[in-house]
Amino acid sequence: MCGIVGYVGSQVSSRAQDVVMEGLARLEYRGYDSAGIALVADGAIESRKRSGKLANLISDIGQHPLAASSTAIGHTRWATHGGPTDANAHPHLGGPDGKLALIHNGIIENFHALRTELLEAGVEFASETDTEVVAHLLARAYDGDLTTAMRAVVARLEGAFTLLAVHVDQPGVVVGARRNSPLVVGLGEGENFLGSDVAAFIGYTREAMELEQDQIVTITPDRVEVIGFDGESAKGKTFHVDWDAAAAEKGGHEWFMEKEIHEQPQAVADTLLGRTDETGALVLDELRISEEQLRNVDRITFVACGTAAYAGMVAKYAIERWTRIPVEVALAHEFRYCDPIADERTLVVSISQSGETMDTLMAVKHAHDLGALTVSICNTHGATIPRESDAVLYTHAGPEIAVASTKGFLAQITACYLLGLYLAQLRGESYADDARVVLTELHETPDRIAEVLDRLDRVREIAHFMADTRSVLFLGRHVGYPIALEGALKLKELAYIHAEGFAAGELKHGPIALIEPGQPVFIVVPGPDTPHGLHGKVVSNIQEIRARGARTIVIAQDGDTAVEPFADEVIRVPRTSPMLQPLLTAVPLQVFAMELANAKGLDVDQPRNLAKSVTVE
Ligand code: M6R
């Protein structure tokens, strides 16, 4: 939520503005309620901000160009305190003479008390935001050194924040601070950058530096200095970004989401890459938890939100079967509040594409406090959640820009499976053979996903016919159940259509009352060889709803003819073993939601009210 960019270079030119505006374009997926920029130019702050998408700010700057500068900060907002208006847009100026500009990502929880104090001191506010409170505190604390002032102010703040500030009296300096919100440094030559994530500056440098919690960073054109909130000097950890600017472009696709859907075979293949040795055994070196500790694990809890939680639900079926360890899936925002049972034999696995989801981060910290082992499955190098965890298993899906998660989801399932198979390998449980077959088949899965992608013309047509639909139901069983939930979530968030996912067996316990003539229902059918006769049971469920007038759109494996008499539409996916079906059946549902949103003329990449990284609780 909220994207932040900072730049400082040695030349006074248009580069500062260009870098920040390009960074904002790349970070807009983090929030698109407003955008703004501030530059230090000619002994003053020049600030421009507009509500709505970045395009409004670009058009404003086109009409009234900004001055040349060497130092700039920019912000794209997901509104929390105060509506999405021009006045509430960042940057906010501090002090009566507006000599300081500040941008912020996060929430200042004690802002009411601080605002009251400032009002009593005669400070006038121009917005309703918590951020402006910090801008005024910083201006009042400033005594010639912005870093010192930042240190004094962060000591008074409660909550989560990334802050970037510039001051007229210190051109060529940007100061940042972070607590529980993301901030990375981009290392250039004769210039340096700050960003919510590396996408902010990927067009200029691929050398970056992570910051720890509670640190302040000061950048000048040729210097990056890090200190803790306690004033102690610190050293950031540098890393090389293994993707380039092209990976953050649409690459000829209409939407990032479309591009990311097509990148799924690669995302799964890259996540599998290098994780087996020459004998085919899994080697997860990066796990950094001893084999003995892993052998002792007697409970696994996934913590995650949204799509990532559905990846955990899929993994529960697989990991319990392969390891015989009880697995539960907790929505991260509920985890802390249900007095969770966890100790040193509990493995708490967080799943997060961004690695910044505040609910998930707080769940991980709570698990850590309870003494559990924490593993992060994450797609973003250097993000907060992996840093707060005992170990990390990175997914290698590349940057996911569209708000709706697609390749991130498939890569998460893949990484969860790698973890489950690794545990099975370590423990030598009874289903080890089963697990070995799955590992072999996992490596064939990218080609099968590519096959699914080649066959989706009919899904696109169905989506266009259904543009006026008001409600869609999704049914699944076993690993198909979380896929039904994911299909419904995708449709809600992209097409703003009421959609519900159900376990097909639950239908007769209530939801079947929703079925009336013409009600569209997607059914994710398990393969005919799924254990316990589940295939036949789902075919019966299809019959039951068809008999009541439902329009049935069935996702079934090649060769599954049993579904045909009861299906209005059959969408085929290649045959694969039961546990791997989610990696195929999710894809038509992603494409359906995207195409339906497209048919309704909606913004597929930036659905209303949402943001890519949810960094508030
Ligand atoms: O970055 P995370 O994986 O932690 O994000 C979790 C959810 O916010 C995310 O999956 C969300 O549900 C997506 N918009 C779904 O498409």
Task: Express each pLDDT in 356-382 by its tens digit.
Answer: 999 999 999 999 999 999 999 999 987
The CB of 493 under 6 Å from ligand 1? The reply is: yes
The CB of 379 under 6 Å from ligand 1? The reply is: no
In order, the DSSP letters of 303-321 are EE-HHHHHHHHHHHHHHHH
CATH match of 3-241 with 3.60.20.10: yes
pLDDT at 463 over 70: yes
Chain mean pLDDT for the chain:
94
The stretch 591-600 carries a mean pLDDT of 97
The stretch 47-57 carries a mean pLDDT of 96
Q: Best substitution site from 305, 376, 401 to test ligand 1's pocket, by max atoms within 8 Å of Cβ?
A: 305
The stretch 162-179 carries a mean pLDDT of 97
Which strands sit side by side in the sheet containing 100-108, from one edge to the other? 92-94, 100-108, 159-167, 174-179, 215-220, 223-228, 233-234
The CB of 352 under 6 Å from ligand 1? The reply is: yes
CATH topology of domain 455-599: Rossmann fold (3.40.50)
Alpha helices in 28-129, H assignment, sequence order: 54-63, 111-120
Pick the range with the lowest mean pLDDT from 43-52, 215-224, 274-283, 393-402: 274-283
The CB of 395 under 6 Å from ligand 1? The reply is: no
pLDDT at 614 over 80: yes
The stretch 579-593 carries a mean pLDDT of 98
What is the pLDDT, as a whole number, of residue 288? 84
Between 609 and 194, the higher pLDDT residue: 194
What is the pLDDT, as a whole number, of residue 249? 84
What is the pLDDT, as a whole number, of residue 530? 86
Catalytic residues: 2, 612
The CB of 615 under 6 Å from ligand 1? The reply is: no
Helix axes 264-272, 445-454, angle to 10 degrees: 180
Cβ 109 vs Cβ 135: under 8 Å: no
What is the pLDDT, as a whole number, of residue 280? 78
Q: Best substitution site from 261, 351, 353, 492 to test ligand 1's pocket, by max atoms within 8 Å of Cβ?
A: 353
pLDDT at 166 over 80: yes
Ligand 1 atom at shortest distance from the alpha carbon of 404: 16
Strands 569-573 and 551-557: parallel
For the chain, what are the domain ranges? 3-241, 260-452, 455-599
Contacts of 283 (CB under 8 A, 6+ apart): 275, 276, 277
Helix (H, G, I), strand (E, B) or coil at 357: coil
Ligand 1 atom at shortest distance from the alpha carbon of 357: 4
- C-alpha distances out from residue 288 to 162, 274, 421, 585, Å: 29, 16, 17, 33
The CB of 594 under 6 Å from ligand 1? The reply is: no
The CB of 31 under 6 Å from ligand 1? The reply is: no
The CB of 404 under 6 Å from ligand 1? The reply is: yes
The CB of 412 under 6 Å from ligand 1? The reply is: no
The CB of 177 under 6 Å from ligand 1? The reply is: no
Distance 169 CA to ligand 1 centre (A): 41
The stretch 486-515 carries a mean pLDDT of 95
pTM over 0.85? The answer is yes
SS (H, E, C) 413-472: HHHHHHHHHHHHHHHCCCCHHHHHHHHHHHCCHHHHHHHHHHCCHHHHHHHHHCCCCCEE
The CB of 360 under 6 Å from ligand 1? The reply is: yes
- Please choose, from the candidates 101, 42, 99, 90, the residue with its C-alpha nearest in 3D space to the C-alpha of residue 68: 42
The stretch 322-342 carries a mean pLDDT of 95
Distance 439 CA to ligand 1 centre (A): 26
The CB of 384 under 6 Å from ligand 1? The reply is: no
Ligand 1 atom at shortest distance from the alpha carbon of 353: 3
Ligand 1 atom at shortest distance from the alpha carbon of 405: 16
The CB of 9 under 6 Å from ligand 1? The reply is: no
pLDDT at 303 over 80: yes
Helix (H, G, I), strand (E, B) or coil at 49: strand
The stretch 395-406 carries a mean pLDDT of 94
Distance 82 CA to ligand 1 centre (A): 24
Distance 44 CA to ligand 1 centre (A): 40
Q: Give nearest CA residue, ligand 1 atom 2.
A: 352
What is the pLDDT, as a whole number, of residue 276? 86
260-452 shares its CATH topology with 455-599: yes
pLDDT at 248 over 90: no
The stretch 414-419 carries a mean pLDDT of 97
Distance 81 CA to ligand 1 centre (A): 22
The stretch 417-424 carries a mean pLDDT of 94
What share of the chain in percent tops pLDDT 70? 99
Counting DSSP H helices and E strands in the chain, the numbers are: 19, 25
Contacts of 270 (CB under 8 A, 6+ apart): 396, 397, 398, 411
Distance 15 CA to ligand 1 centre (A): 34
Distance 539 CA to ligand 1 centre (A): 31
Q: Give nearest CA residue, ligand 1 atom 12.
A: 306
pLDDT at 339 over 80: yes
Distance 616 CA to ligand 1 centre (A): 13
Q: Give nearest CA residue, ligand 1 atom 4.
A: 352
363 alpha carbon, distance to own chain's centre: 16
Q: Give nearest CA residue, ligand 1 atom 11.
A: 306
Query: Sorting pLDDT into bands at 50, 70 and 90, what band is 451?
Result: very high
Instruction: Write b or e for each residue in 247-280: b if 16 or more Cβ atoms lie within 10 A of its Cβ, otherwise e.
Output: bbeeeeeebbbbbbbbbbbbbbbbbbeebbeeee
Between 228 and 383, the higher pLDDT residue: 228
Q: Give nearest CA residue, ligand 1 atom 8.
A: 306
The CB of 353 under 6 Å from ligand 1? The reply is: yes
Distance 345 CA to ligand 1 centre (A): 28
pLDDT at 444 over 70: yes
Ligand 1 atom at shortest distance from the alpha carbon of 613: 1
What is the pLDDT, as a whole number, of residue 432? 64
Ligand 1 atom at shortest distance from the alpha carbon of 307: 10
What is the pLDDT, as a whole number, of residue 462? 97
What is the pLDDT, as a whole number, of residue 430? 59
Q: Best substitution site from 405, 407, 614 to test ligand 1's pocket, by max atoms within 8 Å of Cβ?
A: 405
CATH topology of domain 260-452: Rossmann fold (3.40.50)
Ligand 1 atom at shortest distance from the alpha carbon of 612: 14
The CB of 491 under 6 Å from ligand 1? The reply is: no
What is the pLDDT, as a whole number, of residue 436? 78
The stretch 271-290 carries a mean pLDDT of 86
